[in-house]
């Protein structure tokens, strides 16, 4: 019986491998279709009068906004009772909703949080027709330290709020490194205080051009990038399109989605040892449980990829609905087992202020609908991930893999695309929002990666 099982597995592996190799060849270093650096996303009548100035920006919690928000929270319709013992398994536990709406309305310190959100310098500048909002923190570098530019990119349902704890760590000189970061953290177009496109087509690949142009506007022809979630998709595109400009790419959501990587994953489902180290195999296998998790948690993905404006109406009108929608994702994205807890495990990782700060970034800017559109734009035929993931990059790369991240891939798969993958850090905890969950580990790993990137360039005599 043991021999029969071994033979069966071997045959399956061989068949899958041969079929995969024939049908889905590995990525090739063929450049993708170029992006237009002048593509216009704003109102056409403003094209001739574009303002290139970099203007200071302040987040403003107006008294009218606060009054309206409190009224909506206090008068929201009572939800249907939750099922006994269901916790977060059916979605946000409706039994916890009243606590959160009361907190947001009656206990969240609006003026104090407004001051906190303005504690980092913020600006806007017009790039390709859109006003792009960004945080920019320049360090006070002691003698002997080199200041290096770092672009960090968030995703959905996050915002630049994810980086507030990590930025002071990244911009503070350390005896462990010879450099310190100048951090630029923009809001993605349509998110928070960055203007949304006036027409269809602005997906993550097109956003990569906007951010390259932003960095050029700030005086940086060459720079490092970091990204998670959609920020990882955008940063990965930058590492392919602009290999002469990107000095290194660090990601806490590093993955490859193409036919070759899929075949390798399927082979590992039969013989995991051929794909992943034994102590990390549970992060990928059994494949059925991981696919079940993705199916269970991806309903929002399909909805936003097909009808973002419909769900946007509900979430933009009801702060209680926005709260339930986003905090449920904060729960499951942090740790899968949180769904079994009555409060979704939110208090185990975050403060109430942190979570509501992020909600405020969506609410006061009325950007829920426009942020959701990134899913629909991405799934246009010219934007699907597998198109770009057939192309390799020589940009030095580093991965940070939290234990509870929604996707895990081993180095053997990642190297198919990232030819100069210099290292991978595997954490024994942490989830999808690792910059907010574990800012110290996040900042430390970014610095470790950039140290490796600088060593890599020196070895090639590249400044």
The per-residue DSSP string of 370-432 comes to HHHHHHHHHTSTTT-HHHHTTB-B-S-EEEEE-TT-S----HHHHTTTBTTEEEEEE-SS--T
pLDDT of 47: 86
Q: Is 260 a catalytic residue?
A: no
Q: For 318, phi and psi rounded to 5 degrees?
A: -120, 110
Choice among 133, 220, 432, 445 that is catalytic: 432
Confidence of residue 463 (pLDDT cuts 50, 70, 90): low
Which of 194, 205, 129 shows the shortest CA–CA distance to 367? 194
Enter the pTM of the model: 0.91
Beta carbons of 169 and 443 less than 8 angstroms apart: yes
- Tell me what the mean pLDDT of segment 429-437 comes to: 96
Give the angle subtended at the CA of 284 by the CAs of 281 and 285, to the nearest 5°.
Answer: 75
What confidence tens digit (pLDDT) does each residue in 115-168 have?
999 999 999 999 999 999 999 999 988 888 899 999 999 999 999 999 999 999
More confident residue, 284 or 430: 430
pLDDT digits (tens, 9 = 90+) for 246-279: 999 999 999 998 777 888 788 877 877 777 887 8
Tell me: pLDDT of 285 over 90.
Answer: no
Q: Which of 229, 357, 389, 445 is catalytic?
A: 229
Q: Confirm whether 432 is a catalytic residue.
A: yes
pLDDT in the model for residue 19: 44
133 among known catalytic residues: no
Quickly list DSSP for 135-201: EEE---PPTTPEEEEEEEE--SS--GGGGTTTHHHHTS--TT-SEEEEEEEEPPTTSTTSPPPSSTT
Q: Which of 375, 408, 418, 445 is catalytic?
A: 375
Note the pLDDT of residue 18.
Answer: 41
Tens of pLDDT, residues 328-349: 999 999 999 999 999 999 999 9
- Average pLDDT for residues 86-90, to the nearest whole number? 94
Quick one: pLDDT at residue 264?
79
Q: Angle between the 204-217 and 368-378 helix axes, to the nearest 10 degrees?
A: 120
CA angle 120, 253, 330 (to 5 degrees): 65
Residue 259 backbone dihedrals phi, psi, to 5 degrees: -60, -40
Is the omega angle on the peptide bond into residue 272 within 30 degrees of 0, that is, cis? Answer: no
The pLDDT tens digits of the residues spanning 32-76 come to 778 889 999 999 888 888 889 999 999 999 999 999 999 999 999
């Amino acid at each position: 019986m043991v021999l029969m099982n071994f033979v069966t597995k071997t045959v399956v592996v061989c068949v899958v491998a041969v079929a995969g190799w024939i049908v889905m060849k590995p990525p090739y270093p063929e450049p993708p279709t170029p992006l237009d650096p002048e593509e216009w996303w704003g109102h056409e009548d403003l094209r001739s009068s574009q303002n290139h100035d970099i203007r200071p920006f302040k987040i403003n919690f107006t008294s009218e906004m606060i009054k309206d928000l409190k009224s909506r929270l206090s008068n929201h319709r009572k939800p249907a009772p939750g099922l006994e013992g269901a916790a977060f398994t059916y979605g946000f536990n409706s039994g916890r909703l009243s606590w959160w709406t009361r907190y947001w309305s009656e206990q969240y310190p609006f003026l104090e949080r407004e001051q906190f959100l303005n504690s980092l310098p913020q600006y806007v500048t017009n790039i390709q027709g859109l006003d792009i909002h960004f945080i920019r923190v320049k360090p006070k570098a002691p003698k002997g330290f080199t200041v290096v530019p770092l672009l960090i990119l968030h995703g959905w349902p996050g915002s630049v709020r994810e980086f507030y704890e990590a930025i002071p760590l990244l911009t503070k000189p350390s005896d462990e490194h010879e450099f310190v970061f100048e951090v630029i953290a923009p809001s993605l177009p349509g998110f928070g205080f960055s203007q949304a496109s006036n027409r269809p087509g602005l997906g993550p690949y097109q956003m990569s051009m906007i951010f390259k142009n932003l960095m050029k506007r700030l005086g940086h022809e060459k720079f490092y990038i970091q990204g998670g979630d959609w920020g990882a998709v955008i940063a990965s595109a930058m590492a392919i399109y602009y290999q002469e400009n990107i000095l290194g790419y660090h990601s806490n959501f590093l993955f490859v989605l193409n036919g070759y990587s899929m075949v390798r994953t399927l082979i590992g489902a039969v013989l995991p040892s051929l794909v992943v180290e034994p102590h990390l195999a549970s992060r990928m296998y059994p494949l059925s449980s991981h696919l079940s998790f993705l199916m269970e948690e991806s309903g929002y993905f399909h909805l936003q990829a097909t009808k973002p404006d419909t769900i946007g109406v509900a979430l933009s009108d009801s702060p209680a609905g926005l709260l339930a929608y986003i905090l449920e994702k904060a729960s499951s994205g942090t740790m899968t087992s949180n769904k079994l807890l009555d409060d979704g495990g939110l208090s185990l990782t975050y403060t109430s202020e942190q979570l509501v700060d992020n909600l405020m970034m969506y609410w006061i800017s009325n950007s829920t609908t426009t942020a959701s559109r990134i899913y629909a734009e991405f799934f246009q035929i010219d934007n699907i991930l597998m198109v770009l993931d057939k192309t390799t990059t020589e940009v030095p790369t580093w991965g940070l893999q939290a234990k509870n991240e929604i996707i895990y891939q081993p180095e053997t798969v990642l190297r198919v695309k990232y030819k100069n993958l210099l290292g991978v850090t595997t954490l024994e905890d942490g989830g999808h929002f690792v910059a907010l969950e574990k800012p110290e580990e996040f900042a430390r790993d970014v610095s470790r990666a950039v140290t490796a990137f600088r060593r890599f360039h020196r070895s090639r005599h590249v400044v």
